[in-house]
Amino acid sequence: MTRLLPSPVNTPFTFWYLTVLLATTALRHVLGETLSARLLELASTDAHNLWHRPVMSLISSALWLGDDGWIIYVIIFTFAVAPLERRIGAGWTCAVFASGHVLATLATELPVMWAIAEGFLPGADGRWLDIGVSYGFFATAGALVPVLARRFRVWAVPALEAGIVVIYLIDAPGTLGGNVTFAGHLIAAHIGMLGWWRWLRRRGVTATLPRPAGPGDRTRPLAGSAAR
């Protein structure tokens, strides 16, 4: 079981990303509630920040968690991000993650920016806390679906989409933030499933996940794996 956990050797992207999230979570406690809240406001990918500092907010928003549930992310990254990284390498896993984070954010926040500019939404709706890694995670989880064996893939798609619905229902259904996040999760998951499907197929990624290498195994390249 411990061989499935992210490591700096086998899954460097997953491991070091979780390390960064642990560091920023700890930093929030060190800085205190007032200062950390201000940092999160500056990092948020809300309409206001995307208009004034788009690149910085897109990058910084993915470095913070909205709560203290870091250990939960260790679990879901272990079973949804690390397995994909073992197949396609750290660089391409980062690309999948970033595509979900950036494209889903723009697809959901640009309409909000337009609605505010046209007067359909109040200016206050351009300032809400939009941080976290969920868009990137759902894109990566979506990209993992075509890699799974067909018998698992049949259940993985409805399970992924049902999970998105559950998150919406327990988060803030009916609010602007809840609706934007719900749409972002769906878009990100389908970016992973559909947007990266042909690329995964061209790379020759097989339909089964590899067994994690044991300490005595010889290191050899996997068919279809990206160079690290």
Q: What is the pLDDT of residue 226?
A: 39
pLDDT, tens digit, 9 for 90 and up, residues 179-200: 999 999 999 999 999 999 989 8
pLDDT range class, residue 109, cuts 50, 70, 90: very high
Rounded mean pLDDT of the chain? 86
Span between the terminal Cα atoms of the chain, in Å? 25
Mean per-residue pLDDT, 95-103? 97
Residues above pLDDT 90, as percent of the chain: 60
Distance CA 17, CA 139 (A): 16
**3-class SS of residue 12:** helix
Answer yes or no: is pLDDT of 129 > 50. Answer: yes
**3-class SS of residue 125:** helix
pLDDT range class, residue 214, cuts 50, 70, 90: very low
Q: What is the pLDDT of residue 2?
A: 63
DSSP label at 188?
H
pLDDT range class, residue 96, cuts 50, 70, 90: very high
pLDDT, tens digit, 9 for 90 and up, residues 39-68: 999 999 999 999 999 999 999 999 999 777
Q: What is the pLDDT of residue 1?
A: 56
Answer yes or no: is pLDDT of 212 > 50. Answer: no
How many beta carbons lie within 10 A of that of residue 21, not counting itself?
20
Say if residue 202 is exposed, middle or buried (CB neighbours under 10 Å; 0-12, 13-18, 19+). exposed
What's the whole-model pTM score? 0.84
